[in-house]
Chain A
Amino acid sequence: MAQVKTINRVNIIENGIIDIPMLQILDENGALVDEATIPEISKEVALKIYDTMEYIRVLDDRMIAAQRQGRISFYLASTGEEAAAVASAAALGDDDLIMSQYREQGALAYRGYTTDQFMNQMFSNKADPNKGRQMPIHYGDKALNFMTISSPLGTQIPQASGYAYGQKMAGKDAITICYFGEGAASEGDFHAGLNMAAVLNCPVIFFCRNNGYAISTPSEEQFAGDGIASRGLGYGVKTIRVDGNDPLAVYGATQEARKIAITQKCPVLIEAMTYRLAAHSTSDDPTGYRSKDEEDKWRAKDPIVRLAKWLDSKGWFDEAKNKQKVEQARLDVLASMKKCEKTDICDVDEIVTDVYHELPWHLKEQLDGLKQHIKKYPEKYPKTSGRVK
């Protein structure tokens, strides 16, 4: 039972008493904020964060165009929010598990996911480790400790608590990081996951990208409290709010959160304040629910430009070389796309594998029936009929 102080007058606590400040290290012009403490960051890591953000911008732009051309069925860009995923992933250890939502391709790229790997998944071809079963951007990679993404929002939050508990019990020197947006934080699974992590002392970082919108719903219609960060305190979870467009603030906060999670065996909540400059997805048009002025205001806070200026001030930035790198990335993405879109999809047999560890009788029967049918009407199933045995 909690120790409760008594008072002798009715005193309803006003909403707004919690007003959590935001950590900022680089201002909007990429200059150091007065008396800011710069996190311990090597030149190598700073440049890798920068390059990864640039790469994701290139990939996102190209793949939105590819979706418009009808080459892939769906895409979700992270434009404007690259720092949140990339700089946080940079502060992790290789053994830390990443559980993400669907706008954290930057974290995956930072870990070393290749352009071909991105493409194989998006084109649902037979080189896709998901065997072409999931929609584009539902990445996952066992070798990189990146748990396969699923569409239902918030489900990964209590899962991350469980995964982290398992890591702790197994004596692993690793944590779990769980990404989600401020909209997903309205799901019951957010409540379940944070409360369980706090009560069961799970070494997990909950990383919320608060980008102002859940599809068309602005955050004022999502919650009435002080964002997501204020909730952490209610669960007894250590909490910090950071400027999500400031790569140094995100990196520094995640570094510290990881240290706390791993040494104190407890969860930490990070709320990164950012803005979704992109449409929600290729199925969405934001002009119907927000103004261009608002978007422009945030375009000026671009995390990529901000980090470039700071790198430049350190003498670590070579503009000509950077331009070349970006151009090369564009060419690589295009070449990889051309290659991967031509790769076949899996054999039809894979439609029934991995449902269970072993194929049960009813799935064998259903597969046999399907193959007989395809053999009879091969022209109706051109992607697989040539390979049906």
Chain B
Amino acid sequence: MAKMNLLQAINNALITAMTENEKVMTFGEDVGHFGGVFRATSHLQEKFGKGRCFNTPLTEQGIIGFANGLAAQGSVPVAEIQFGDYIFPAFDQIVNETAKWRYRSGGQFDVGSLTIRTPYGGGIAGGLYHSQSPEAFFAHCPGLKIVVPRDPYQAKGLLLASIRDKDPVLFMEPKRLYRASVADVPEEDYELPLGKADLVQQGSDITLLGWGAQIEVLQKAAEMALNDGVSCEIIDLRSILPWDAHTVAASVMKTGRLLINHEAPQTGGFASEIAATIQDKCFLYLEAPIARVCGLDTPYPLAHEKEYMPDETKTYEAIKRTLHY
């Protein structure tokens, strides 16, 4: 075990994967000698050479197009998009190419070895283009997996699983936790399962569901609710696609109430998909409408960041509303 922050855990996972398999390559904007704008790829070029850890020209569609080709060839690309906000130029490559590669070729070819890493989320005074949470755009795209860790332990285990998974994975890193979240992380190799939610805290009155940096928010809100005598069950979804409806449904059948929290705007957010599915699977168990505590349906603002965010107070209020319904 070693104390690592989220970035160090990611860096450690990349070193583990690149040491084990010489086909693993990391690339993107500024990931080479500089080690990435957040330092997630620190020292990888020194350790593994310029051939396996390199800068690309500044072109997101190019990075993912290149990564698709590399993956199809049999290499194991771990491509970095500097901010989730800048993934959209690569949307066509991801949605029309990455996600459909195996299906359209009848399984003759695939890009399953591809992992796309990108920092996402707000809380760092990033304004419109350094704060976005684009997971719902990609959740509408069959063929992709989407994974979001909540702390350094999760980050290493989930990233290693993503790199080795046989499907392309969009790995979204909560950047406000990069240095803020510190935990004991095993130095040896380990994996956490994709597609499996994690029960963070047991409770009996309401299920709180979220992912990434918002788990911290749910924990704080649950503490506030506990002072009122409310017992919250907290689930970290971890994988957005495919998502673990079974674990969520089992929890909701027990508590009878569900609150979903995400930073991304409410309309078309992934909470809508979860709410519709759980409503379908747990109709007779629900004692209140499913609550969504999300970002507003606005671009992500700078000065009003605090007002925009689905924070613990908003979550606490929604817990009370749901319980008193």
Contacts and interface: CB of A to CB of B under 8 A. Distances in A.
A166 B74 contact: yes
Nearest to A360: B242
A160 B52 CA distance: 18
A187 to B, nearest CB: 9
Interface stretch (A20-28, A140-148, A238-246, A310-318): A140-148
Given A133-B106, A170-B74, A155 B143 contact: no
A200 B103 CA distance: 30
A369 to B, nearest CB: 12
A354 interface: yes
Contacts of A97: 73
Given A148-B108, A150-B96, A362-B245, A162 B67 contact: yes
Interface in A259-276: none
Interface string A112-143: 00000000000000001111011000101110
Interface residues of B, number: 50
B289 interface: no
A162 B106 contact: no
Contacts of A163: 69-70, 72-73
A195 B59 contact: yes
Nearest to A149: B104
Contacts of B167: 356-357
A131 B102 CA distance: 11
Interface string A43-65: 00000000000000000000000
Q: Specify which of A142, A192, A354 lies most central, judged by the most chain B CB atoms within 10 Å of its CB.
A: A192
Chain A: interface residue count, which band? 35 or more
Q: Specify which of B65, B70, B75, B93 lies most central, judged by the most chain A CB atoms within 10 Å of its CB.
A: B65
Contact of B93 (A155, A165, A169, A356): A155
Given A134-B104, A150-B104, A152-B96, A192 B65 contact: yes
B36 interface: no
Contacts of B25: 169
Contacts of A157: 65
Given A166-B69, A200-B54, A361-B246, A129 B112 contact: no
Nearest to A164: B69
A360 B167 CA distance: 12
B73 A170 contact: yes
A142 B61 contact: no
Given A159-B65, A354-B103, A362-B242, A169 B108 contact: no
A388 B37 CA distance: 54
Q: Specify which of B59, B71, B112, B167 lies most central, judged by the most chain A CB atoms within 10 Å of its CB.
A: B59
A196 interface: yes
A191 interface: yes
Contacts, number: 156
Nearest to A201: B51
A361 B70 contact: no
Interface string A262-304: 0000000000000000000000000000000000000000000
Nearest to A358: B166
A183 interface: no
Interface string A303-337: 00000000000000000000000000000000000
Interface in B147-182: 165-167
A159 B77 CA distance: 12
A147 B165 CA distance: 22
Contacts of A193: 62, 65-66
A97 B70 CA distance: 12
A355 interface: yes
Contact of B66 (A129, A161, A355): A161
A147 B67 CA distance: 15
A95 B110 CA distance: 18
Contacts of B245: 361-362
Interface in A146-188: 147-148, 150, 152, 155, 157-167, 169-170, 176, 188
B186 interface: no
Contact of B59 (A148, A166, A196): A196
Interface in B206-233: none
A167 B166 CA distance: 20
Given A142-B108, A148-B108, A167-B73, 10 more contacts: A158-B93, A162-B70, A162-B71, A163-B69, A170-B73, A189-B93, A200-B66, A356-B102, A356-B143, A360-B195
Q: 7 nearest interchain CB pairs?
A: A158-B65, A162-B69, A192-B62, A166-B73, A159-B69, A162-B66, A148-B105
26 contacts: A97-B73, A99-B69, A142-B108, A147-B109, A148-B109, A150-B104, A155-B93, A155-B96, A155-B97, A158-B69, A158-B93, A159-B72, A162-B70, A163-B70, A163-B72, A166-B70, A170-B23, A170-B75, A188-B59, A188-B89, A191-B62, A355-B103, A357-B102, A360-B195, A361-B246, A362-B245
